[in-house]
Structure 1
């Protein structure tokens, strides 16, 4: 009897398959990033795609933001304290505390409120960041109990808050709700939602990672928006293109308590001046441009809709139809792999990258991606977008036909 190569154990075979899938995803992402860097025309070019040298260069000329001859910060003084004061002033709150991450900032805020209200239940959306992206940190680390108000692709309603069948100490609202399509309620809906929480003796916390760009939709300045909540978290990298970091803003007593928990969570970092300087740069240079990005995103969204219709795409959806912020979703009736390949090929062969994000499968022959518009996107006209759509759809058709052969 001839000697045979033993078959791998099922678990080993599964691990090999998973590794292959992981490598395939990494290769696709690396190719997409190369295409993005090589493209001459994009709708957005976020800073995290730059090299270290490119990323650090602007900080050497940041003397207009902060005295660069001052000694570096130590455990949160100096430039970090200056950033905290700037954020509190922009949001109209008594105080603000810098955190190395938004995940930490919100966990701390919510556990502080739970201690004060005596109720560990946090009411939030089923698509909220702590539910989807934080590996159950609220319960596993903070001892809190998330309860889901709704799973609909919109913010909760005042009626849903009033009718929720159990008490909760804090209502957390993500503004905008990213995984539902960067959606926002109307100003009236938001004020009614906050009032409903107050009627139930609950405090309100805003997950405002992208709160900076909500002023256009609400038609209100930042202090008026932030004033609705008992506390607000804001990010320095999602909209402002900083290196990272976040701030928790609210009453001085809450912020002081949060500083204690920040230390306990390991967030009392020795020096954070690069991140703090990049955040100040974002507040100085990007924050004033965000309303223009929102306006341009609406132009791009309309041109995309027109382009898909003209190209004969049987069905497409821009969500929201009129973007609430400078980011929105695009849904198309094709396999995600087909769309991803067409997008990369368009960039590689024409220098125009229309869709730079990941395409997610949402069912057989249905995929979605996110589109964001930043400074580079301001140069696009509606005709530029429609022309890019026509070229992209032609490549999608070629790719789909090639895979069916």
Structure 2
């Protein structure tokens, strides 16, 4: 008959064997949780203790923001955000410019209900005592100004749209890189907003100057203007014959205008030839105006973005975030309550898990030692 001590010893061995089988899983779970806690703790921002440390951290953040914006706004590299098309900035800005170009009238805009009446009315009001075969330049400039004014708001609208988008991207990158320093978020957003406002004002001044130059004079060195005008004027003879010969139909077909009604123009024989010439000049010159407004805005935006990212943003952020007497840097030394609480919780968790791991290791050692007896 087996005695009670023997049974107790046997039960202890069985219990130890069962526990020994469970302990590796327990150790694995402790290790996994310890690794997660350590990883989370290591990913937290460095606990800044000196102004030098804070300044280094700030400069690093600013450089990271600049690098991200260079990739997105200048080089068109999107590997950081492959699935977020809203951050593919060069493509989105190009789309804005294509849309702007598409909205500009391809042909010279007019509000007239009857063909050439806009030119006829201006020419009649430009009459003076002079030789009859001169096209009054004042009449041409009057019409040109009217037509340019109809689109003068478009360049301002596109630069406003572009800068609003750039501001959104810049703030998003700033918040991404300073997420570990929430005390910087408000000030950095304010800096970026102010800088973008300044860039937007510059762009608006630039495009207003562009429009102003188009209103001041008519000029181009491009041979395309003369080539286009000569080509358009080839139909002048057909047009004048239809005007002068009342037996001909009152509707004719012109390549650049399609079918047009000209019966009403037979009452203005004294100015209709000049009106036709003026319309052809405006039509040929309009292509030059549109090209300048599109290319000028596009090149300006490219240059302005380069200046923003490579020159102005870094200086503005450092100057404003450092602040007078290093006040901004001192704010970085003040860890937010949420971050401090999280750091303390993780440190305690790591300490407790390490202690637990040691306890389990001791138990396993004792079980092994008892089994060897």
- Do the two structures share a fold, i.e. TM-score over 0.5? no
What TM-score do the two structures reach when normalised by structure 2? 0.20
More helix by share: 2
Q: TM-score scaled by structure 1? A: 0.19
The answer to which structure, 1 or 2, has the higher relative contact order (CA under 8 A, 6+ apart) is 2
